[in-house]
Chain A
């Protein structure tokens, strides 16, 4: 899929988010920098606890108010830093400008409210529509996301929908006010594989039709390959590598990305070639390592990796990675065969 060469609609710069807990300060995001361009899909990939969801929620300021600490950085949207906007101004951003789709469609709809009202709510709030206009628009939205018999469906409650249908409703709610940016936080993780494909197809189709930009949060590189234009790999609260889908899949530059790719099952691959898991566990976010977050699990780690955070090395206009192996004094390390031969 070709890269979209557009201007950045959303720029996240050195974002640092912590949570205060009884166990101490959890440093969930420790300096994340990425751009989202007009009309593109940017996938943020990482395992559980990498900080990807927290980073995504920070864009809409949806992390729990009571214990979230913004340690630094900025999120620039339409020339303003979202982190500094008043709560009141944020109300006009959430929904009409930036919308979000959540992971679990079984729990993200209010079980006691008719589906129609949950869509209409947003329309009335932001577009000032009358009840009738809003109901018509809600029916259109349901049809747009592929729910048949929209009129009747509007009057039903969430429990009368299947998981995949509910996720379509959640997407309809997100699209209600024509947002410029859609943040999809693991939108297919809770769904059956066949439904996953349908939802991803729907998102892709909607993007083409409505021209919005999508931030796709996922731990599943398989999802990314078919949907995204660019990838940002997140680990230990940092973006450790970013590039186009092609670059990340064919010429990954960071051992963690190698590990991620080596752990995807390939249907065409020789069965004798086992999946290679990444040994160890992610770093403790209450006491993050001072060097590269992956150093403790990295088979190529050098002494400097544990002591200092590597800077970014640039490989192309899009592709850069933070890894000491690319320092001029580092030994030359070959990518593992499974990755090089992945084509």
Chain B
């Protein structure tokens, strides 16, 4: 298990290096330059700013400078905010996004599991159809449609929730709910399929044949076996959530990392784009790693296969 984990860890760093390099060069392909985007500057001022941020150096040098900074844990300074460090900005913005995302995952997981389990246990009932309808709606309506709709109906018309900004927990409800819909929908559909499959397995019939109550059979045998594959979709789900956060934060004007990221692309604030991309990548790669390890813990067959390596 240790060897397996170490191997995955080395892989993770290679992946991170590739992402960082690719993003850095791709970013240079953006039309315009960070300086020309700002207010009109005289050529002397432009040259001075370019020199301050090493933008006058040839690209390979700039890349080398960036990477050596990165190795020392220095993400550079933002172009927009008078040289504030990227790390500082990220640390300031991140908690808001994490809060929204976590809240969305928890709500989505609870609602999704509930809907999925109920529709599997009451297959082809009205519960099942209802849950299926909600799930299709949740998967197919994109966040950028759902968010304004929620703002309009729940915010403006009914006046239950504030429609923008982040001043209290109450402000976080609407954006979290919008984010949670996809999570809930995907988990509900997935859980239903998995549970139905497990319910038809011989070992579930055998568990019933032992005289265990329906509840005991579901809790001890069905849930655990249906939850294993769920671990594999939590990753694409968190990925969907990160893109969701970009949109939802922008629509609701929430000062999180997503909103900052979108803005820095418009402003060509390279260090922030890089910093955020690296952070997101670390997040993805870490979830992959975690997933593999978790999978091994839940499913003993994989644990053994790992040992043999």
Contact = CB atoms under 8 A, between A and B. Distances in A.
Say whether A and B bind each other.
Answer: yes
A252 interface: no
Contacts of B213: 91
Given A111-B225, A112-B299, A92 B211 contact: yes
Given A102-B205, A121-B220, A159-B301, A110 B225 contact: yes
Given A62-B205, A107-B201, A112-B228, A157 B210 contact: no
A93 B299 CA distance: 32
A108 interface: yes
Contacts of B299: 111-112
Nearest to B209: A100
A125 B201 CA distance: 22
Contacts of B220: 113, 121
Please indicate which of the listed interface residues A93, A104, A122 has the most CB atoms of chain B within 10 Å of its own CB. Answer: A122
A160 B307 CA distance: 14
Nearest to B206: A108
A110 B209 contact: no
Nearest to A119: B210
A43 interface: no
Interface string B171-206: 000000000000000000000000000000111011
Contacts, number: 83
Interface in A143-182: 157, 159-160, 170, 173-174, 176-177
A157 B301 contact: yes
Interface string B209-231: 11111101000110011001000
A99 interface: yes
Nearest to B303: A157
B149 interface: no
B19 interface: no
Contact of A110 (B123, B203, B214, B298): B203
Interface in B255-309: 298-301, 304
Nearest to A99: B209
Given A121-B220, A159-B300, A159-B301, A109 B206 contact: yes
A-B pairs with lowest CB-CB distance, top 6: A95-B211, A94-B211, A108-B202, A107-B202, A122-B210, A110-B203
